Amino acid sequence: MRIYFVRDLKDRASRIGKTILVLLIFSTLITIQAEAASRSVVFDVAQSISRLKSGDIRGAAVEINQARLADPDDPLINDMTGALWLIVGSDHRANWYFKAAQAESPKDAIANYGLALHLISEGHFQQALVRLNGIRNGDVATLSIAREYLYYLLGDVNGASDLVLPDAYAAQSDFFNGLSAERRKNWSEVYVQYRKAYWLLGSNPTSEPVGILMTLNPDLPLATGFSQPLPIQTPAARFPSRKDALHGVVSLTPGNLGNDFQYLVFRIDGHPLTILNRPPYQYLWDTTKVANGAHAIEVITYGSNAQVIDRSTRQVYTLNPDAPPAASQLDAESAMVKAELWRLLALKPSRAMLSDRIAQAALKLEDKSQLVSEWLERSIALDPSRHLARKELISDSSGAELALWKGNPSDKEVALTFDDGPKPGITPALLAILHTNGVPATFFVIGRHVVKHPNLVKMMVQDGMEVENHSYSHPDLALLTADGVDQELLKANVAIQAAGAPRPQFFRPPGGDISPMVIREAARWGLTPVFWTVDAEKMEYPPIERLTHYIVDKARDGAIILLHNGRSATVQALPQIIAGLKARGFRFVLLRQLVATIENKTPLTRGIQINR
């Protein structure tokens, strides 16, 4: 770096100290700003990966948008953006970003891997394998998993027999072991290996793992558990023109400098390059010293008293065969972030597919046949379209018009039922009151809340309560398609059973909204709709005396009483409600007990039968 100062020779000696100081300041500033820019990119990408792993897709997109504002052409940023689009099921948008990363860095292993995944999703298996085999310096385990899956798709019967993966990829190892056992028709081993892979994907059986999923379906070889739009704008399909790119050494010259001009500063991507204060005010910039890609050249002119006169910026593109990698790739932290990104992009077995394969294996095993319906339900809960091809699963929907509103009108008994929840703070308080008074109750729980608070469901079961289905996300079921109803009911079933409760026998439609189609779909899965005799919802607010009197006065023999598992007024009123009902001679029963006492009852529940 050359810096000229306008002073006569006798002044120069007296200003040597200040010259050295200026050099040191600018040299330090260049280093600090370069490291800060690199660290900012790496930090934003690391934050995006962290959010993505937790399932916060939109949060991950916000983080990567911040990084893109700083350096939209950074290969690591484009790799991460491509990964985001892949994980929400938009491989064409992902393909654009992987191509952008490759344009900046042709040997970018992650970009080439992403392009190979696009080929797999398009059904070009042989081309994908060629691209994978050409990748150098990529994550060995991630590449091996993709190759093994391609061998399966290409019909290689020996593909997965000798695959050895690190412990971090245990789910994939067990999956490929199950696939190998399936080829040998060792159904006991198939059941064991696939089941191990299933639980290694995570403890929440109501959702697919974050990532790109193997389906074993050649027509749709890759899938994802997410399908939501991202707040990322995909640029028009353009790449910087190579014929206009700068290369080698170029001369930078400012425009009109003005009368009050004293000196100027050239900056590249915000990093100071030089200070010039004597003609010809030119700087020879060696573009081979910077990473290929877009750069911002800025010239700032100063007048007397170091006041800024003018500031102008020009965007350029550099392209050199031996250019250094982007700054973010130079940092050791970047290597760690890339390792995380590789792990995130490693193909995982689909949980829905595994559930389906486990059910098929169980069908062939005498001692596992009773588990078939459970695993098929897990599969359909994640992918309702699968039931169209599952002729093994048949339910008796005769009498599908039946619903339960009350018990036997000649029995002095009532069923307390609580909708919603489980909810921390409220549910334990309700259970404590019920336990103290020796009163059983039925809880209609919301599946997504069960996933968050499975310990509260365990408390219900331990206290002898009945846990039933109130849908997974509390929608108006009557407005959904048949597949949507199936998914709401079965995901809730799966969540409830995973929390340690028996398989639900009843469901209560949110808001009481129902249709003949909803009743028919519920009947397919052995679920009877339950409504109420006494609806106290509008009374579950202070003063609690009003709520107490309403329920005690309205209760009749065989009544089903509707309360809510989420309101403090209900907790406060419950001891008085119990005391008032007991004073009237009522005994408390679970819904299953209430159904058992109905005179001349028709079977209201339908078990799932297996067609063997």
Which residues are identified as catalytic? Answer: 419, 564
Query: What would the two tokens of residue 20 be?
Result: 């050295």
* Interior angle at CA 552, CA 550 and CA 555, nearest 5: 100
Length of the chain: 612
In angstroms, the Cα distances linking 185 to 158, 172, 182, 378, 505 are 14, 20, 5, 23, 35
Q: Are 418 and 444 in contact (CB under 8 A)?
A: yes
Tell the residue number behind the tokens 């339950």, with chain if given.
530
Calculate the CA 501 to chain-centre distance.
Answer: 26
Q: Would strands 393-395 and 608-610 be described as parallel, antiparallel, or unpaired?
A: antiparallel
Q: Are 527 and 559 in contact (CB under 8 A)?
A: no
Q: Would strands 249-252 and 283-286 be described as parallel, antiparallel, or unpaired?
A: antiparallel
3-state SS string for 538-563 = HHCCCCHHHHHHHHHHHCCCCEEEEE
Q: Would strands 263-268 and 271-276 be described as parallel, antiparallel, or unpaired?
A: antiparallel
Query: What would the two tokens of residue 359 be?
Result: 């059910």
**H-helix or E-strand spanning residue 447:** helix 447-452
Calculate the CA 430 to chain-centre distance.
Answer: 33
Phi, psi angle pair for 234, to nearest 5° = -80, 120
Distance, CA of 379 to CA of 350 (rounded, Å)? 10
The dihedral region occupied by 185, where left means phi > 0, alpha psi between -120 and 50, and beta the remainder, is: left
Distance, CA of 310 to CA of 316 (rounded, Å)? 20
Query: What would the two tokens of residue 131 be?
Result: 């691209």
**Cβ neighbours around 271 below 10 Å, total:** 20
Phi, psi angle pair for 501, to nearest 5° = -95, 155
Tell me the three state secondary structure of residue 298.
strand
Distance, CA of 112 to CA of 136 (rounded, Å)? 10
